Structure 1
Amino acid sequence: MAADEKQTCYQGVYLNSFQFYLEKSGEHAVLRQYVEKILPGEFQRIGAGKSSLDVLGVGSGGGEIDAHMLSLLQSSFPAIPITADIVEGSSALVDKFKAMVAKTANLQKIPFTWHIMHSEDYEKHVKAKGDMKKFDFIHMIQMIYYVDNLAETIKFYHSLLKINGRLMIIIEAGNSGWDILWKTYNKDLCGNEVKEYRASTEILTCLKSLGLKYEEYSIPNSFDITECFDLSSGSGECLLSFMTARDHFSESFSPEIRAGMLDLLRTKCSTEKDGKLLFDSTLSCIIVHA
């Protein structure tokens, strides 16, 4: 990777806390259920009359959701060839994705092109080459927090859509627990990997300013953060580290800031049920038309 290209936060300790978060939150299971409901109909509109289909995943991580969506696309159009381009900055997650492809028969039928780089570096490479491959379906799942210029990023990827193509953005919902935490403690949390926190509210404002047509869907989800309030819990520390985008939550903030964050998580970001604190991690899915 060139020296001027961005590094990813999904490595080392933070990568481990990300994997723990996925297990704890059940987010991927919720996303799989959701895409099964919404995407088959979208795919029929996207693929109508086409002889091939090209997919671009931006920030695809380990590929779990990509694999599910590609399988749904194959089921919708079993006789049509499909290609997949993957943009992902974490080489560790790309290796995980490649390993999954190697042991999944239906994925082995799809030619993959791997771009191990940040999304904005991909944009620079594409523009420098002057070879702008177009796509029928582009998805950006839980990654748009990490781009520097929101409007330019959306404009670029929207420009890569073919006729009847769709850009799918999945992000934390406005007024969710994430939104409340990160906007309340914006000065303390932003500045490392996440320069400016964004939820669905900011994405919709940007889409409206660009004059793009879209639909928004809510994906309800919550997960248990009770362990976060047990100072002796390694699991709670790991979860808090991911939620604040730090390697070590307890070492990254002053005692006053930590106490304030925990109070906010308890009183504003969660609900109590059967003795457990359930964090509101509702997601928003935004489907943008070509």
Structure 2
Amino acid sequence: MAAEAKQTCYEGSDVESFQFYLKHSGEHEAILQCVHNILPGLLKRTGTEKSSLDVLGVGSGGGEVDTQMLTLLQSTFPAAPITAEIVEGSYQLTDNFKALVAKTTNLQKIPFVWHLMNSEEYEKQVKAKADVKKFDFIHMIQMIYYVDNLANTIKFYHSLLKSNGRLMIIIEASNSGWDILWKTYIKELQSDIITEYRSAGEVIACLRSLGLKYEEHPIPNSLDITECFDPSSQTGQHLLNFITAKDFYQSFTPEIRAGMLDLLRKCSTEKDGRVFFNSDVTCILVYA
């Protein structure tokens, strides 16, 4: 899970932990593969007869996925000017995003507006304005865990869509390993940042209750957690710390640690002596 949405989240060592996870998880690669498969057709539908395209990224982190999507937008609509607004609570990750834009030639043609704040702060800012900007494409990748009110958040961003626009929500799949772990041990894992764990199941139930039209796209993914079962492995410790969003060996009793490790193994498959944790993700496209 990406923990970008809170202002106090993902600075300093937390950024290193997040980047360590991304390096080992292959999650961004899996998401990008899905994006490249579905986005061109989606954007052609949303971009039909549009003279320009306005994009909003919420909880965009270091911009690794955003830059790929914007590049895809440019190639799909070479004649249409694109604007991009980014809502991100982490100063360090925003700096990483800006550095990525600076070294990507085609993105230097896109005007960026940076909102260094979390989702709730952005919502308050927008609602205080008389003239509200609308967007053709809004994406929220691995950040819906961190908002205070799921229904209100979805309603707000849905209200910012232009006619024929799309809201993309990417989140851990229902019954994935993450979903099972966090719902089994929510009392032990919850914190000021995550008080309620959500997966695609909660998002879809919310969309149905709001009467919004959507479509789902599965994103298969797995995480090699073999090292997690070796207490002497630094890699294993780093992964366990990220998976639980805590210091695994300091925060939990031996009994809780043993239970979590047993659950991790049950939510995994084994191949060639390696243990692969179910990290399936779901892409949900919400219609305007």
TM-score (norm 2): 0.97
Query: What CA distance in whole angstroms lies between the structure 2 residues aligned with 1:257 and 1:55?
Result: 43
Does structure 1 residue 282 correspond to structure 2 residue 280? yes
Does structure 1 residue 250 correspond to structure 2 residue 231? no
Seen in structure 2, the aligned counterparts of structure 1 residues 262 and 112 have a Cα distance that, compared at 3 Å, is same
Q: Give 1:118's aligned residue.
A: 118
Q: Which moved further from structure 2: 60-69 or 129-138?
A: 129-138
Does structure 1 residue 265 correspond to structure 2 residue 264? yes
Does structure 1 residue 129 correspond to structure 2 residue 132? no
Q: Give 1:101's aligned residue.
A: 101
Q: Give 1:215's aligned residue.
A: 215
Query: What CA distance in whole angstroms lies between the structure 1 residues aligned with 2:151 and 2:116?
Result: 23
SS of equivalent residue, structure 2 residue 223: strand
CA contact (8 A) 1:83 1:112 kept: yes
In structure 2, what residue type is equivalent to 1:213? K
Query: What CA distance in whole angstroms lies between the structure 2 residues aligned with 1:250 and 1:15?
Result: 20
Query: What CA distance in whole angstroms lies between the structure 1 residues aligned with 2:93 and 2:24?
Result: 18
In structure 2, what residue type is equivalent to 1:283? V
Q: Give 2:89's aligned residue.
A: 89
Query: What CA distance in whole angstroms lies between the structure 2 residues aligned with 1:184 and 1:11?
Result: 28
In structure 2, what residue type is equivalent to 1:280? N
Q: Percentage identity across aligned positions?
A: 70
In structure 2, what residue type is equivalent to 1:98? K
SS of equivalent residue, structure 1 residue 106: helix
Q: How does 1:1-290 map to 2 (within 5 A)?
A: 7-246=7-246, 248-267=247-266, 269-290=267-288
CA contact (8 A) 1:8 1:118 kept: no
Query: What CA distance in whole angstroms lies between the structure 1 residues aligned with 2:240 and 2:121?
Result: 30
SS of equivalent residue, structure 2 residue 105: coil
In structure 1, what residue type is equivalent to 2:273? G
Gaps of 5+ in 2: none
CA contact (8 A) 1:6 1:121 kept: no
Deviation, 1:191, is: 2.6
CA contact (8 A) 1:56 1:86 kept: yes
In structure 2, what residue type is equivalent to 1:99? A
In structure 2, what residue type is equivalent to 1:105? T
CA contact (8 A) 1:178 1:280 kept: yes
Query: What CA distance in whole angstroms lies between the structure 2 residues aligned with 1:134 and 1:237?
Result: 44
SS of equivalent residue, structure 1 residue 35: helix
> RMSD across aligned C-alpha pairs, in angstroms?
1.1
Render the CA deviation track for 1:75-122: whole Å, top value 9, x for unaligned.
110011000000000000000000011111110000000001101110
Deviation, 1:259, is: 1.1
Query: What CA distance in whole angstroms lies between the structure 2 residues aligned with 1:284 and 1:87?
Result: 21
Deviation, 1:6, is: 5.2
SS of equivalent residue, structure 2 residue 153: helix
Query: What CA distance in whole angstroms lies between the structure 2 residues aligned with 1:143 and 1:106?
Result: 27
Deviation, 1:130, is: 3.1
Query: What CA distance in whole angstroms lies between the structure 2 residues aligned with 1:270 and 1:11?
Result: 30
CA contact (8 A) 2:6 2:90 kept: no
In structure 1, what residue type is equivalent to 2:130? G
In structure 1, what residue type is equivalent to 2:248? F
TM-score (norm 1): 0.96
Deviation, 1:282, is: 0.4
SS of equivalent residue, structure 2 residue 43: helix
Divergent runs of 4+, >3 A: none
In structure 2, what residue type is equivalent to 1:141? I
Q: Which moved further from structure 2: 95-104 or 130-139?
A: 130-139
